[in-house]
Chain A
């Protein structure tokens, strides 16, 4: 298991050595990046399934927690540790001549993303988040969209950088407040101390500060002004990677912190409200967008708002709904971006596209239907899960969220329908044609295939998600796993068996809710 640190270290090594290797052999340098990605995938697949029953943690440098930095691996982090190299491999800049530094930046992005998912230390998360941010600033200013002048990307990158840096400083302040309040940075130890030390106004303000910092990448409502400029300026492969993967990473980190450190209901309510505003503002602006890329960029703000609403539901059911929506968006949005890559320009120019490229349009319709939530596509099931669980909450804020979400879905339907109508318009002398590169087309088909397979395999996907939600929602499991080797007095808590709960698939909502209540009881008794 110690070997999993290589997921972070090997891409860094490759990134450092690539410019040196390129002096003797360009081919070798370029291949080394792909080789490292393949090694990472193999490493993860080797341990796949080992964490289903019991999460694992190990200390970097052998310095036991809470003194040293630990990496924590459960199903959630392992899933993303697999998705990161796979997605980077898919959205590698295959289709354009790139300099070796650009590949180097891609490797740094991979390393930081993996580190962000595996790390179990608050400041370490900050460092990897910053690395992710700096690598994406660099990539945004370099991977310019075809036909676009690079200056657009530079300006977009500078504005993104200024906003992101302010966010990072806020996050650093939040970390400083938490450190002052508790005297530690280890997430497991913080989680032990959180019910007393962070369940107050100090903890809440620290959460808000950290939320502002992580929210920049997660496209959270007030700090997402960079989204349309950046996605319109950079190549579609990079915007697919950023909208699909990187935004989810920040969301996952927020959720981890929420589960472990911030038990207050106010924190959840804040996320609901911000999510609501994100959904409605994103979809409203997407409705008015005049070209495809901007439309997708704004719609991704809306979808991320939906993810925040889902994660703000209390208990494990919120985690389940959140993971489902996030993973669905992770598959659908990059595929849509890939298709949009060939359809640049005004929306009206796409009129009658179905005559010249029927397959592309058909794929677009399929993806749009899933995004909207048409049965039996996965998008329907994730939205159903969210709607059902928003409706059963007693807190009125969730009912507002439900109303906002349904309104946003109507808006979404309106603009997607408009585009589809435009595609199927009968035009006698259409000169509309798509300019999809082969790579983009294959990528979109592969992602759509994943979507369709998950329809067929719905029960097993559901089972996996349920067990993931239970494992990552279990605070005591986290604490116990991290302190398993040393057994601090605080961590002497009876070993719970989280796997029993995970074995049963999601049969009906009440059973899950019962379990959540039961688990909360166990949690409460263990803490007393």
Chain B
């Protein structure tokens, strides 16, 4: 393929977006940032897909007048990836909205956005409700987790204002 043309640059951009998104998902510990990384990842994939129909001198696949069908047809970009990307974008929006709703609820309950903390608290809750000791995968003695949870509860007071601001921030960024 011709890496020097427009498509080469856009392709590099798409692959870069995919890389950034994946790295963000793996390396970030903040759930909201993970969702943002997911958005970047999805845009990268969509860019990659829409590039599949791109054509050096292509025009938009819309017939402007009746008589030019055969002429215009040869010039057009492939319309199928465009339709697919439209579908994929809408799917992405739905998933992101669901993720955001879950994050809002979790934030309201655990008062943190940190993935490892959320996970630890969930494992603790799960074990408590099931009446079993924590599984070894949590890699910490029961007393440690318990004390951490209590510390969390004590810290809630000063963190309160900050938490509100965060909720608003999330809401605001959605609205925007």
1/0 per position for B81-113, CB-CB distance to A under 8 A? Answer: 100100110010011001100110110011000
Please, how many angstroms separate the alpha-carbon atoms of A346 and B129 in the complex?
Answer: 10
1/0 per position for B3-23, CB-CB distance to A under 8 A? Answer: 000000000000000100110
- Are A151's CB and B129's CB within 8 A? no
Please, how many angstroms separate the alpha-carbon atoms of A151 and B121 in the complex?
Answer: 10
Asked if B145 is at the interface (CB within 8 A of a chain A CB), the reply is no
- A155-B95 contact given A166-B38, A291-B130, A345-B130, CB 8 Å threshold: no
- Are B129's CB and A158's CB within 8 A? no
- Stretch of B45-53, B61-69, B162-170 on the interface side: B45-53
Q: Which residues of A contact B154 (CB under 8 A)?
A: none
- Are A232's CB and B105's CB within 8 A? no
Asked if B174 is at the interface (CB within 8 A of a chain A CB), the reply is no
Within the complex, the shortest CB–CB distance from A176 to chain B, in Å, comes to: 4
Please, how many angstroms separate the alpha-carbon atoms of A374 and B41 in the complex?
Answer: 48
Asked if A148 is at the interface (CB within 8 A of a chain B CB), the reply is yes
Nearest residue (CB) in B for A345 is B131
Q: Which of A127-165 contact B (CB under 8 A)?
A: 127, 130, 134, 137-138, 141, 147-149, 151-152, 154-159, 161-162, 165
Nearest residue (CB) in A for B108 is A151
Please, how many angstroms separate the alpha-carbon atoms of A155 and B106 in the complex?
Answer: 7
Please, how many angstroms separate the alpha-carbon atoms of A180 and B31 in the complex?
Answer: 34
Asked if A400 is at the interface (CB within 8 A of a chain B CB), the reply is no
Nearest residue (CB) in A for B95 is A165
Please, how many angstroms separate the alpha-carbon atoms of A288 and B132 in the complex?
Answer: 12
- A127-B87 contact given A148-B129, A162-B25, A290-B135, CB 8 Å threshold: yes
1/0 per position for B132-146, CB-CB distance to A under 8 A? Answer: 110110000000000
Q: Which residues of B contact A349 (CB under 8 A)?
A: 131
1/0 per position for A287-308, CB-CB distance to B under 8 A? Answer: 0111101100000000000000
- Are B81's CB and A346's CB within 8 A? no
1/0 per position for A258-290, CB-CB distance to B under 8 A? Answer: 000000000000000000000000000000111
- Are A288's CB and B136's CB within 8 A? yes
* Cβ-neighbour of A138 out of B35, B98, B129 (below 8 A): B98
Q: Which residues of B contact A404 (CB under 8 A)?
A: none
Please, how many angstroms separate the alpha-carbon atoms of A344 and B91 in the complex?
Answer: 37
Please, how many angstroms separate the alpha-carbon atoms of A10 and B49 in the complex?
Answer: 31
Q: Which residues of A contact B133 (CB under 8 A)?
A: 290
Size category of the A interface is: 35 or more
- Are B122's CB and A157's CB within 8 A? no
Nearest residue (CB) in A for B106 is A154
Please, how many angstroms separate the alpha-carbon atoms of A179 and B35 in the complex?
Answer: 28
Asked if B125 is at the interface (CB within 8 A of a chain A CB), the reply is yes
- Are B122's CB and A151's CB within 8 A? yes
1/0 per position for B23-43, CB-CB distance to A under 8 A? Answer: 001000001001100100110
1/0 per position for A166-184, CB-CB distance to B under 8 A? Answer: 1011001101100110000
Within the complex, the shortest CB–CB distance from B72 to chain A, in Å, comes to: 19
Q: Which residues of A contact B135 (CB under 8 A)?
A: 288-290, 294
Please, how many angstroms separate the alpha-carbon atoms of A151 and B174 in the complex?
Answer: 22
Q: Which residues of B contact A141 (CB under 8 A)?
A: 102
* Cβ-neighbour of A134 out of B46, B98, B129, B131 (below 8 A): B98
Within the complex, the shortest CB–CB distance from A24 to chain B, in Å, comes to: 28
Within the complex, the shortest CB–CB distance from B123 to chain A, in Å, comes to: 8
Asked if A229 is at the interface (CB within 8 A of a chain B CB), the reply is yes
Please, how many angstroms separate the alpha-carbon atoms of A141 and B109 in the complex?
Answer: 14
Asked if B55 is at the interface (CB within 8 A of a chain A CB), the reply is no
- Are A345's CB and B132's CB within 8 A? yes
- Are A179's CB and B130's CB within 8 A? no
- A172-B132 contact given A151-B106, A162-B99, CB 8 Å threshold: no
Asked if A185 is at the interface (CB within 8 A of a chain B CB), the reply is yes
Q: List 21 A-B contacts (CB under 8 A).
A: A123-B84, A134-B91, A149-B129, A151-B106, A151-B109, A162-B99, A166-B22, A166-B41, A169-B21, A172-B49, A173-B45, A176-B48, A176-B49, A229-B126, A289-B135, A290-B133, A291-B132, A344-B130, A344-B131, A346-B131, A349-B131
Beyond A127-B87, A288-B135, list 11 extra A-B contacts (CB 8 Å).
A134-B95, A152-B126, A154-B105, A158-B103, A165-B38, A169-B18, A169-B42, A173-B48, A176-B81, A229-B126, A346-B131
Q: When A and B form their complex, which 8 residue pairs have the shortest distance between CB atoms, in order from nearest?
A: A155-B122, A176-B49, A345-B131, A290-B132, A158-B102, A151-B109, A180-B52, A169-B45
Interface, chain B (partner A; CB < 8 A) = 18, 21-22, 25, 31, 34-35, 38, 41-42, 45-46, 48-49, 52, 80-81, 84, 87-88, 91, 94-95, 98-99, 102-103, 105-106, 109-110, 118-119, 122, 125-126, 129-133, 135-136
